[in-house]
Structure 1
Amino acid sequence: MDREIGDVRPEYVLLAEILREKITSGQLALGSLVPSHKILADTYGTSQATAQRAVGLLRDEGFVAGASGRGTFVVASTPVHQRGDAMVMLTEVHQRLDELEQMVASLKAVVDTPGATRRQPRSNRA
């Protein structure tokens, strides 16, 4: 693994950066199998322990997930903290939708009540 002069980051961080770039660029597509620790170590000239730590870092960031006995797979192309904002927005949209559905149900109950007076739309008023 090539290291720029003065770069003091640990090797596993450098390897994780390389793999992260492959994931975000699509070279390692969603659902694809991440190479084994041995293959990563051989490919990048590092130890299997370093490869394991790099993959663990990507797992912590939400890019990959392990399937027992099957390997580690790419599960996302953006980190968890960026997906979190979208999840918060989606949750807020669902909450607002629930509120609107309750309002519609309440209005429908009033309209469907026998003997309820109905107002004419504004455009038809004299």
Structure 2
Amino acid sequence: MSEMPPLDPADTRPSYQQAADIIRDRIISGVYKVGDHLPSFVELGKRFGVNSSTVQKGVRMLQEQGFVASAPGRGTWVLSATPAPVDPVLQRLDEIDDRIASLETVVEELLRREGHTPR
């Protein structure tokens, strides 16, 4: 399995979104094939340089999109290399949620630069 690239700290997308996008790209490109198990959340977190809960949130997005499935004690495996049909309203809500998360990240960084502690 090829090395997982680290997440880009300059990217304004949330870390879980970056992780999900990298894993999705690897599924679509065939690095991970249908039926393959993904590395554990802990292992992916080490590869991406983030907490395993961040990876878990990204993988949850991929589950909702129909790319992967997870089960306790069985791990996470690839279901499909094509996304499941998505309700346009839910897709728009996800996009809005991602934009809000990106804005929160930018605001927190600006607050830090000004010497404030974000909540």
TM-score by length of 2: 0.63
Q: In structure 2, how many angstroms separate the alpha carbons of the residues matched to 1:76 and 1:24?
A: 9
Provide the residue aligned with 1:58 in structure 2.
62
Q: Which has the higher helix share?
A: 1
Tell me how many residue pairs correspond in the alignment: 81
CA separation of 1:25 and 1:43: change in aligned 2, threshold 3 A: same
Using CA pairs below 8 Å that are at least 6 residues apart, which structure has the higher relative contact order?
A: 2
TM-score (norm 1): 0.60
**Partners of 2:7 and 2:18 within 8 A in 1:** no
Whose radius of gyration is greater, 1 or 2?
A: 1
What stretches of structure 1 move > 4 A for 4+ residues in a row?
none
Letter of the aligned partner of 2:8 in structure 1? R
Structure 1: runs of 5 or more not aligned: 83-126
Residue 40 of structure 1 pairs with residue 44 of structure 2 = yes
SS at match of 1:65: strand
CA–CA distance in 2 between the matches of 1:64 and 1:31? 9
| Residue 30 (str. 1) matches residue 34 (str. 2) | yes
Residue-by-residue CA offset, 1:31-51 (whole Å, 9 max, x unaligned): 000111000001110111101
What stretches of structure 2 of length at least 5 have no aligned partner? 1-5, 87-119
What do residues 77-113 of structure 1 show as CA deviations (whole Å, max 9, x unaligned)?
Answer: 000028xxxxxxxxxxxxxxxxxxxxxxxxxxxxxxx
Q: 2:8 aligned with 1:3, yes or no?
A: yes
Aligned-pair Cα RMSD in Å? 1.5
